[in-house]
Structure 1
Amino acid sequence: MIRTLLVDDHALFRRGVRALLATMPDVEVVGEADSGPAAVDEARSLQPDLVLLDLQMPGGGGLDAIPAILNESPSSSILVVTMREDSTALRQALVLGARGYVLKDTDGENFIQAVSTVGLGDAYIGRELAVQLAGLLQAPTPSSAFPELTERERTILQLMARGEANADIARSLHLTTKSVQNYVSRIFAKLDVADRSRAIVIAREAGLHVE
């Protein structure tokens, strides 16, 4: 049985998805949430096999929720269900840990296939997004990425991409936490990103975390 958590801010959409999933004998809806933070709480308590996650929600978006959900429920597979048909959102979702990406206007047959595939731990990308997916394979090599960063900033970004917190980075590099915070702020400015999750996405796309 694929225990499933529905995450979308529109109750009517959740109701429709629940009705569709009711036709699948191997799927059980165990919970619902209407925001990213609520999804994290539900994932922590329910430990679902599958999370169907919208990206655009008031009170906390789905992209930021992806790593938080996986931190609380590592065995969950996340299928993004969204209206956003763009390569940036697709790339960010996959890099952050989503296993699949499907558009809300897909037909019922493909939606059921996506749920079954991701629910079993495999990857699924909607056919309409396959061309965009090819662009994900054209990331720069780690050695040539981020020439605008100093060597120290690049090292800190690499450690961030590996999942290390500021305090851990400070210990590794024999710096104060405040110094690391200052470096991180400069990294955000140079990469033109607003937060840590976006910086990590960019670094992982470039393969910096495995360098």
Structure 2
Amino acid sequence: MTVRVLLADDHPIFLEGLRTMLETVDGIEVVGVASNGAELLELAARIEADVAVVDLDMPVLDGAGAAAELIERQPGVAVMALTMHADEEAVLRALRAGVRGYLLKSSGPAGIARALAAVAEGDVVLSGRVGAMVARAALRTTTDRPFAQLSGRETEILDHVARGRSNPEIARALFLSVKTVQNHVSAILSKLDVSSRAEAVARARDAGLGTGPASGGVA
């Protein structure tokens, strides 16, 4: 099987080096390159690909935004982040956007090639440091989550609801479609056994949600 790959990075020297390296790997074909997320979406609409590799810091549309939009439009295309950022905020934002792989640019050529093949097969691939960070964040979220019956995503959305945000605002913050947010909100109301959004807000605030730093892209 040949893995057809799109690359997006706004550093032309790195982009060309990555392309050249991947073109020497059996089973990988680079079918297009882009300098920002918007260009990537245009390419993906015209060129069939299995995996899109994105840098997180790009002009016009960054990597997380491009990943979320691409997955929404073409769920059959896996997205892998290849970035310099190893901080928890960047990692979790990318994972919320739907990336299936998260590698650091310090990864070696062989590691990048293996990750591309694995992501194309449906696996989730995280570099060692990133994997440990995600595990710690998941444990912290599970331990601190006030509503055990809600999934992590539902708790995250309830937090935004408790801040008085509309479904479109939540969708923009979390890189989801409005319909997906609506479905989550309906599930939240059912699981909390409340009949209105206002009741859910009251329950959430009593549990401490809706205060402190917000998750997602809305301050």
Cα gap change, 1:141/1:5 in structure 2, threshold over 3 Å: closer, same or farther?
A: same
Aligned-CA RMSD value: 3.5
- Within 5 Å, which residues of 2 pair with 1:12-31? 12-31=13-32
Matched residues, percent identical?
26
Cα gap change, 1:130/1:47 in structure 2, threshold over 3 Å: closer, same or farther?
A: same
Gaps of 5+ in 1: 173-188, 200-211
Q: CA deviation at 1:155?
A: 8.6
Q: Return the TM-score normalized by structure 2.
A: 0.68
- Within 5 Å, which residues of 2 pair with 1:61-210? 61-137=62-138, 138-139=140-141, 140-141=144-145, 143=147, 145=155, 153=164, 156=167, 160=171, 163-164=177-178, 198=217
Q: What do residues 143-184 of structure 1 show as CA deviations (whole Å, max 9, x unaligned)?
A: 385787776948958984773259x79xx9xxxxxxxxxxxx
Q: Distance in 2 between matches of 1:104 and 1:128?
A: 13
Q: Distance in 1 between matches of 2:77 and 2:121?
A: 10
Please give the secondary structure, in 2, of the residue aligned with 1:198.
coil
Q: Higher mean Cα deviation, 112-121 or 61-70?
A: 112-121
Q: CA deviation at 1:109?
A: 2.1
Q: Partner residue of 1:34?
A: 35
Gaps of 5+ in 2: 149-154, 187-209
Q: Partner residue of 1:3?
A: 4
Cα gap change, 1:190/1:14 in structure 2, threshold over 3 Å: closer, same or farther?
A: same
Q: What do residues 75-131 of structure 1 show as CA deviations (whole Å, max 9, x unaligned)?
A: 001110000011111111112110000000112222222122112221100113222
Q: CA deviation at 1:15?
A: 1.3
Q: Higher mean Cα deviation, 113-122 or 81-90?
A: 113-122
